[in-house]
Chain A
Amino acid sequence: MRAKASRSRRTLGAAREATGSPPPPRRSALKAHFRGAAFVPRGVPSAARLPVPRARGPQEGGTRQLPAAPPCGMCSLSLFPPSPPWDQVTLYEYNNELVTGDNYESPPPDFRGQWINLPVLHLTKDPLKTPGRLDHGTKTAFIHHRESIWKRCINAWRDMGVSGVLNEVANSEEEVFKWVKTASGWALALCRWGASLHGSLFPHLSLRSEDLIAEFAQVTNWSSCCLRVFAWHPHTNKFAVVLLDDSIRVYNANSTIVPSLKHRLQRNVAALAWKPLSASVLAVACQSCILIWTLDPNSLSTRPSSGCAQVLSHPGHSPVTSLAWSPNGGRLLSASPVDAAVLVWDISTETCVPLPWFRGGGVTYLLWSPDGSKVLATTPSAVFRVWEAQMWTCERWPTLSGRCQTGCWSPDGNRLLFTVLGEPLIYSLTFPEHSREGKGQVGGAKTATIVADLSETTIQTPNGEERLGGEAHSMVWDPSGERLAVLMKGNPRVRHGKPVILLFRTRNSPVFELLPCGIVQGEPGAWAQMITFHPSFNKGALLTVCWSTGRIAHIPLYFVNAQFPRFSPMLCRTQEPPAGGGGSTHVPLFTETASISSPWDPSSGTSWSHSPSSHLQ
């Protein structure tokens, strides 16, 4: 309890200090002069108020404005503790400090008992096929036979529509009349011109779909890193990883069976999502469709047949790059950068409803707030929307300087943090509580405020000066709302272009606070590919980092969580660390039910499988 009290005093002190301080200089000067985090809500005297314009032009009916000038009193990078020595890896956080070690396999003795029972995976690229692999189809086994022009036209119509037919006709030789060929050539040119006009409005439409996915992905290197996508199961110690060859592997902490999912249509996987309130339904965003895998957890098969997958497709909705399940498990949202409509799917009946769409050219990223009331939808152009998930109305936010790169919701769904491409800032947008009952209203604040400045700066380390900062690439908030991890974009002046993971300490109520916590470091030479938090880790938070070397590291951040009793490593020394990655079959250490009792009474946790009659005796 002491640690908790002192920590809170410290953070409050920081806030007070920040609010009481004279207004700091503007952003350029902030590089040298930084203060602690303070975000103060409306009720606070004007010294702390953020000077944001309230311009709401009449032509921009429901749209909201971003602040033009960065306000004072926000978190910045100068307060960050120096990064650990280059050959050390971050292992866990304890007592407000990030503890490092030589490698991932050597936790310090105090933590052996509590070391999480999760496989630290190392998936290397070698056994995987490269994306440009040869397609071992049956095509080569057959003699080439040229079909008649009409047959080819019909095929092209089925595959590609009108433009395919025109292309086929224009490229045919001596099979159609000359004038038909010329006419289709003209029509094709007209089509292409029209498409290029469209493409000039939305430049991303002219990209290839692989580039499209890589451009808008939340991972730093989608196209060539061996780990493409990672997703935790919302309730259990189970996760799915997409490898470079688009196969999916599902790892479970309690079983040695690693199902590997492959499907004919499973190409260019850009997103994964486990269905909440379900044991085993996994949605996969593919090139041309959405695959819904139903994996029987009791099955011993390592290669589930493609009959376990449902295929959902909608014309014009490809490639699918983002998926979001509603937290109550009912509906699935899917989005594609080339389709302006977000689709709401009812998986069990395979029906979909396109949401009304406006401008923007497509939707790149969807994020459902944890309380299920709102959805963030970002577009490739400089606008993003926040949908309200009951009547499906939306608020539009034109972000002026660039598209919204990433975002994250607070656990109660009342605050949205987001970043804009090209700006080293984190914005915050609040959605006051009282708007919850109002039907069909998003009820966002009128302006977004800047809560952190990530611009490049130098920090003093024992080894000399070090540069830090840049734009954020992706941002995740842990489910208890106490830690925020930010994956920075690679910046050639910072650590030779390696993406850096910054960890912040946050607090959401009564006032929003953002305090630096540390820098998460991996093995030498490894780049962070993506970050995510475990959705149900109850001793604090568990940050999972996928490194470019193919390693998936789990970094537990132990802290006092308001919902769960205090974790102390002293109490559970008796338990030995599990022998292998996921081989142990005894009690899962942090299932919701077992965890609370296990640190004090290791035997009580093992009684889950016993006969229910013993309860009565």
Chain B
Amino acid sequence: MGVWRRLSRPPPRFSSVAAAASRPFGKAPSPGCTERVGERVALRPPSPSQLSASLLRGQGLQVPSGTARRRRLQLPTGRSRGPRPRGGSSQAAPRAAPSTSGSSRGPASFERLWRAGNPAPAAAAAAAPAGTMASASAAAGAPAPPPPPPPSLPSLPGPGNARSPASLERDRLWRVLGWRIATSVVWSVLLLPVCTGAFVFFSSLDVLHPVQWVSDALHDLYGSCVLSSLLLLSALVIVISVFNIEFYTVVPSIPCSRLALIGKIVHPQQVMHSLVHSAMGMLMAWCAAVMTKDRYHVLAVPCTDADSLESKAARACLNEHHLFLLLAGAFMGYSYSLLYFVNNMNYLPFPIIQQYKFLRFRRALPLLLRHSAVESLYLLRNFCFLYYFLGYIPKAWVSTAMDLQKDEKQPPLDSLSGLFDLSLLYHVWLCGVFLLVTWYTTWVLFRIYATEAHAFPVQPMFTGDVEECLPRVLNDNTPLIIKYLALQDLMLLSQYSPSRRQEVFSLSQPGGHPHNWVAISRECLALLNDLTQRLVMYQEAAATNGRVKPPSSPVEPKKPIVMEEETAFQTPKASLMPKALMPSLVKASLFSPKFASPDTLNPVCSPYGDSVSNRAVGIVDIKSPRHEGPQSLQSPQLTRRGPRLWTSLTDPQSNGPRSPHASPPPIRREAQHKGRGPPWKLCLWLQNKQEQVKSFLAKRVLIVYFFSKHPEASIQAVFSDAQMHIWALEGLSHLVAASFTEDRFGVVQTTLPTILSTLLTLQEAVDKHFKLPHVSSRPPRISGSLVDTSYKTLRFALRASLKTAIYRITTTFGEHLNSLVGFK
């Protein structure tokens, strides 16, 4: 369970929206830019009116299509003309800085990528000897501008800021989940006698004498050994529940390579989990053996050897059947633990429809029984193999440790004849089924109780309840499960509960501020923006060399910028204004490598080109802005470029003859190259070596086997927490759609442009993502089994709900979207 550290707060947006609202038609803020209005507009994603019109015309939702895309691609050439005040650059740079310190709880590669964000420029500076102009400017640029104090959040009314966050979290977790977990444990303990009864009944199976069988089973049920082992079993079930509670997660961890999978298994926590589970499995098997009686009852039995005359009664022999059963229990416990992690069974999938708990349990029950029976069969087979080859070790160990003799009359169980004992196999199988059923029942009950919807109050009844209300829970650093439950509740209330929606749209009593709506929408939008960034970064990583890797150098300088433009709560295209203020020279040098004609700079454009030269040029063209001073930090255009070059292969307009700056830039870059010759040679050499080592390693089969990333897995990892975003999308879009009739004060209207921009930006990123290579566009088939694999298909669900959300808003508002201020 990781802690969700939120990104740095974007600057206050509502003021800007309000400012925009005061201006009719959202005029350009800076007078110098008025003539560029048309261009800026063209940069934005297709307006909702276009969208709704296209929907009504029966056309699909394709954001980067048609005219919109073409206009966007034309942009840089057009923008390099005209006056550009410098004011915007200094404004954007500090905003970029805090984002490097913020971290998203993404897949591991991205976290590494984030962390690498700061050292990278420093390393570049170190590589360059001092003295040249370039390194001087690099030294000036490398220490990132000090992160400004994070903009203060518009805090919610009420106290609570002073309390220690950890205790608060625990408190909240316990209040929301405590009773549920307790109830689930109680239920699984209560169901234990039923399982035990069934086990006793089936273990004394005697087909030939049914009457005797039933009467024996009934008699056994009241025996003292069954009752006492029930106590032990209850304790075991409680321990299992504790493990379930400790190890559950709402975000599945998806190992991207085989090495990661192995690392996951040998993680100390999980080794501990496995060991405890095998011990508990052994205890379960012991209970089963005690309840079965017969020949499995005890470990030491009097020898049946008639030959050993001397003190026949005193000699105790090893009961191998008992040992076999115990070891089988331990093996099954261990396998359970192993499969628990390999199959991500600690992941809590939320149900697709709300149902009562009993119905969910009843639905899961047949699956559970079947799964346990089949699984036990497989485990029994594996254990038989294991025991056949290695069984002599524990046998010898136990018999020496306890001074037990080997019974010569009985055939040894690690032989074929000994193993082919149907009664033994049946009992071991039954013991396995018993073990798995009790453990899975506990697990299923925990899952059902933990994922049940919880209704958070929207507005606090009393001042003390502020911590519990929905906007607060969403905005605070809560445990992820609470955040999930809160988002689920948001989705449910936005769909089904008009009265609670009314509370969301309400104004605060003194002051008349829509605190609830502001807090809720801000959090949802922050989530969505975060996902957009992650996708853009992923695409860039994929675009640099065609597959995902933690990019060592070329991508880092971009990240802060991406962060900046996304957290600025605008679409990247809408936030182009500061870039338009860049001096044209910087501009030209910045964009030239990418936008020159494809022939001259082919290696840059082809991601699979000759790797060394490609890399070298890649470094040059991205590092160079870094060396030009702080103002070159803002090159979001570059960040937008990367994936576009990759996906939309050649747009004739983007690098066609329309750009007047297409020819000079290469020369300028040449000059820059000359200016800082030695460091770049060194860098090239280093890169060269690195590539050589890499290619050497890549040829070793074993290393490739362990390190090669499964593309599907890394994509799944990007979307592993997409359930949150799906709920945020659904909740937000339903609230906006409901606001059309229910929002009396118009609180939603102020945020509507932002919401639409965010959704459309995300849509663009998602669309691009699905066009990447290695991305399957169809969900894999899921067999209806107990093991839930729904996390593998979350990205498809996200794509569908994103489209639906956009359509929901556009169809509800229809042509009224045209009158939205700030979004045209």
Contact = CB atoms under 8 A, between A and B. Distances in A.
Contacts of B803: 277-278
Given A328-B808, A613-B41, A254 B790 contact: no
Interface in A309-333: 310, 314, 328-331
Interface in B794-811: 794, 796-797, 799-801, 803-804, 807-808, 811
Contact of A616 (B41, B351, B804): B41
A235 B353 contact: no
Contact of A592 (B359, B808, B811, B824): B811
A348 B807 CA distance: 16
Interface in B44-62: 47, 49-50, 52-53, 55-62
Contact of B61 (A236, A237, A255, A279): A279
Nearest to A585: B57
A238 B799 CA distance: 23
A584 interface: no
B355 A392 contact: yes
Contacts of B59: 279, 297-298
A610 to B, nearest CB: 10
Given A347-B800, A349-B779, A356-B363, A254 B352 contact: no
Interface residues of A, number: 55
A348 B796 contact: yes
Contacts of A346: 352, 797
Interface residues of B, number: 60
A458 interface: no
Interface string B659-674: 0000000000000000
Contacts of A233: 58
Given A236-B56, A279-B58, A592-B52, A328 B734 contact: yes
Contact of B352 (A296, A298, A351, A356): A351
Given A297-B59, A348-B793, A353 B65 contact: no
Interface in A351-366: 351-354, 356
A328 B733 CA distance: 11
Interface stretch (B251-259, B416-424, B491-499): B491-499
A613 B68 CA distance: 12
B348 to A, nearest CB: 15
Given A392-B355, A613-B42, A349 B55 contact: no
Contact of A588 (B56, B352, B353, B730): B56
A524 interface: no
Contact of B354 (A372, A391, A593): A391
Nearest to B812: A277
B782 interface: yes
A177 interface: no
A274 to B, nearest CB: 11
A437 interface: yes
Contacts of B807: 277-279, 329
A344 B359 CA distance: 14
A241 to B, nearest CB: 15
A330 B60 contact: no
Given A328-B808, A593-B815, A616-B824, A349 B58 contact: no
B194 interface: no
Contacts of A238: 58
Contacts of A593: 49, 52-53, 56, 814-815
B27, B779, B818 pick with most chain A CB within 10 angstroms: B779
Contacts of A354: 363
Contacts of A439: 496
A591 interface: yes
What is the interface of chain B mostly: helix, strand, loop, or mixed? helix
A252, A279, A391 pick with most chain B CB within 10 angstroms: A279
Contact of B55 (A279, A298, A356, A372): A279
A395 to B, nearest CB: 15
Contacts of B608: none
A329 B805 CA distance: 10
B779 A348 contact: yes
B397 interface: no
Interface string A415-456: 000000000000000000000110110000000000000000
A612 interface: yes
B462 interface: no
A353 B495 CA distance: 20
Given A593-B53, A612-B50, A390 B354 contact: yes
B800 A608 contact: no
A496 interface: no
B694 interface: no
Contacts of A391: 354-356
A126 interface: no
Contact of A235 (B55, B356, B793): B55
A329 to B, nearest CB: 5
B497 A328 contact: no
B41 A296 contact: no
Contacts of A255: 58
A588 B37 contact: no
Contacts of A392: 353-355, 359
A236 B58 contact: yes
A616 B23 CA distance: 12
Contacts of A436: 498
A280 interface: yes
Closest A-B pairs by Cβ, 5 of them: A591-B56, A348-B800, A349-B793, A613-B38, A236-B58
6 contacts: A297-B59, A349-B352, A354-B363, A356-B363, A592-B811, A593-B815
Interface of B: 25, 27, 37-38, 41-42, 47, 49-50, 52-53, 55-62, 65, 67, 351-356, 359, 362-363, 492, 495-499, 730, 734, 778-779, 781-782, 784, 790, 793-794, 796-797, 799-801, 803-804, 807-808, 811, 814-815, 818, 824
Given A297-B58, A349-B796, A612-B41, 19 more contacts: A236-B56, A328-B734, A331-B353, A348-B799, A348-B800, A349-B352, A350-B793, A392-B354, A437-B497, A592-B815, A593-B49, A594-B56, A609-B53, A611-B42, A611-B67, A612-B50, A613-B37, A616-B37, A616-B824
